[in-house]
Amino acid sequence: MSFRLFFSIWLFVCFLLISIPPALSEPISRGALLSNSCAGCHGTDGRSPGAIPSINGKSALFIAGSMREFRSGKRPSTVMGRHAKGYSDEEIQLIAEFFASRK
């Protein structure tokens, strides 16, 4: 076997090894991606390590409702009002469903 042929096959095998695992793994949902910005304060998956309330496992209705009330100013807040203003209703719903699914 010529070195060239061997090298081409070797490159091909490397390509397969690199490209297959991402294709097999589950895609990350949009809700999970959006919820990353909440983790800084509310903890990974909404499990807060400190004084800020945990939001994992709370109902999607409660989380989405709170977010909309923070956004409109109906519910007073220190930071959530400002943070919530960056999200559309659809995004709030996706985030709320993500946290509701984290027990």
- Geometric angle at alpha carbon 38, from 37 and 43, rounded to 5°: 120
Is residue 39 within 8 Å of residue 103, measured between CB atoms? no
Give every CB contact of residue 43 below 8 A, 6+ residues apart in sequence: 49, 50, 52, 54, 56
Among 42, 45, 71, 94, binds ligand HEC (CB under 6 A): 42
94 binds ligand HEC (CB under 6 A): no
| CA 85/CA 68 separation, integer angstroms | 9
Among 31, 45, 55, 94, binds ligand HEC (CB under 6 A): 55
- Geometric angle at alpha carbon 47, from 44 and 50, rounded to 5°: 105
Measured from the CB of residue 89, what is the shortest distance to ligand HEC in angstroms? Answer: 13
Measured from the CB of residue 72, what is the shortest distance to ligand HEC in angstroms? Answer: 14
Measured from the CB of residue 84, what is the shortest distance to ligand HEC in angstroms? Answer: 7
Measured from the CB of residue 26, what is the shortest distance to ligand HEC in angstroms? Answer: 22
Residues at the interface with ligand HEC (CB under 6 A):
37-38, 40-42, 52-53, 55, 63, 66-67, 77-80, 83, 95
